[in-house]
Structure 1
Amino acid sequence: MVPALVIAFSIDRPSHRPGHVTVEALQQLDGSLPRGYRTGDRSCNDQKPENFQLPIRAMGYEPVHDYAKDQLGIQAGFAGAELVEDNGYCPPRPRASRTPPRI
């Protein structure tokens, strides 16, 4: 088990090249650490595949992301129930508790 500490990093202007910067940081890791799921914030959701998803998959990582901005909120409904970001809500539930906070 790897402790929660910084083991690699890469620096650039904020939000300028998030996919490239993540790949640069991951390339610093040696082969002794296990590969698995790689989570991140929404800045990596809309990166071109060749700048982020393909390189990290080639390194042995499986990307896991939040929904894209256009997929947030109410997705569908049936008989008064609503599907909000993969969670079902019945009609009596207050609207405020069915609307996830925006980041």
Structure 2
Amino acid sequence: MALTCTHHEDSCELALEGALTIMEATELRDQLALALVTAHGPVQMDLSRVTELDSSGLQLLLALLREGGQVRLSALSAVVRARIERFGLGAALRLEGGQDGA
């Protein structure tokens, strides 16, 4: 899993690429927490390049949204969208642009 953080003057974009599963969740949790602490303003999480997502990955996203304040998910990959729909988590994950994350 690769994490790219792009800071803008009044916001931040976090882009995840690769698998977001139990194998990556622990390491990624610390990286994401640090990125959220250093972000200035709202944070957009680009998940368009996430290739695999399991329940541990979903739990990590839910925890970050609960603790991270102004975090929004955007640009969902088909895999991410399918998992979110399967578990009915669209509202809980505060999708940008509504249920489909567009």
**TM-score, length basis structure 2:** 0.38
**Which of structures 1 and 2 has the bigger CA Rg?**
1
Normalising by structure 1, what TM-score? 0.38
Structure showing the higher helix proportion among its residues: 2
